[in-house]
Amino acid sequence: MKKTVYFLMISIMFATSCKQSPKQSKNLKPTTTTTVTLEASTPTSLYEDLEGNPISLSDYKGKNILLNFWATWCRPCLEEMPSLLRSKAILEKENYIFLLVSDQSVKKISDFKDKNDYDFNFIRTTAALSQLNIYALPTTFIYNKKGEKVDEITGAVEWDSEPIITKLKSVQ
């Protein structure tokens, strides 16, 4: 008990000695005059093509977007790609754009693209997946023509199955 009281007294004394009075803080001057705004420190785009050009989802306004987050090491991601490709062909007339997004290096994505016969728009994200609220792969976001996120699907899916095609065709 004595040790606890002693510790509390020392903590209070230390805390009060570290505080500055309002009078003292008036005399403090900033060490630099540079200001950083949120806009200046925030990247303008979360996505880029494999050449490093920024991409914005607003570039695709007027189209339905299937934004599929994947990785070359993710077995379920790779297993769903053939059905994604078939779904892309089925939904071609529905004004869909399929974007496959990875946070891996451009080299890894490009090597995968070169070794496989998947006709997708492969892009990469410049953000951490956790910043995008993605905690499992594959994860797919569906956006309507207005650019509104209308669905989120976590896990592998048979993208060319009748229920999924019907669901994707009904996106408004």
Give 36-82 pLDDT, tens digit per residue. Answer: 222 333 345 799 999 999 999 999 989 999 999 999 999 999 999 99
- In the DSSP assignment, the letter for residue 104 is S
What's the N-to-C CA distance of the chain in angstroms?
A: 67
Going along the chain from its start, the domains and CATH numbers come out as 45-169 (3.40.30.10)
pLDDT tens per residue, range 103-145: 999 999 999 999 998 999 999 999 999 999 999 999 999 999 9
- Percent of the chain, pLDDT > 90? 72
- Supply φ then ψ for residue 81, to 5 degrees: -60, -40
The pLDDT mean for the chain works out to 80
Nearest to 57 by CA among 168, 132, 155: 132
Q: Say how many CA atoms lie within 13 Å of 103 toward its Cβ.
A: 16
Q: Is the distance from CB of 83 to CB of 146 less than 8 angstroms? A: no
